[in-house]
Amino acid sequence: QLNSSWTLVDGIVLGTTIPVSDVMIDPAEAIDGLQSLRCYAESRTRLFKEVTQVVGVSEGVRIRARAQIKADNLRVEFQQREDSVYLSIVFVDPAGYPLGRPVRSIARLGSHNWEPLEIDAVAPPGAAGVRVGLLSGVSGIAYFDAVMIEIL
């Protein structure tokens, strides 16, 4: 079960909303702490879930978003796209509406041990928060861990 500060939302839809990717907390894999976020999908998956959290920030503040990813046979199948495994941020206004387009740190596919994903950005005028997202929109297993937002 996700911590209550995180939300599961529809990330990528390939024509229909079933079958859905499997997103869960995995106590068997972790780089720090006791667990990681595990995302699993296969060639038949059509809806890929994204895990998001909004963190309050003020305009003009410089932030760094970081996460670690471990990959187990991440690969593109069917209509999936190679750039669909990532850490993302988008600044939001006080009502939660995005201020601009998301910025992404895209993970590499294949199988590999823990690797960093990182984004540096400055909150634009009108920003009240930053929405952090984690998504794996391809087949295979992606583990995300050590997610943090740093105020620089």
CB 71 within 8 A of CB 30: no
The Cα–Cα gap between 142 and 68 comes to: 10
Question: Tens of pLDDT along the chain (152 residues)?
Answer: 567 789 999 999 999 999 999 999 999 999 988 999 999 999 999 999 999 999 999 999 999 999 999 999 999 999 999 999 999 999 999 999 999 999 999 999 999 999 999 999 999 999 999 999 999 999 999 999 999 999 99
DSSP assignment of 60-71: T-EEEEEEEEEE
Q: Please give the radius of gyration of the chain, using alpha carbons only, rounded to the nearest integer.
A: 15
- pTM of this structure: 0.95
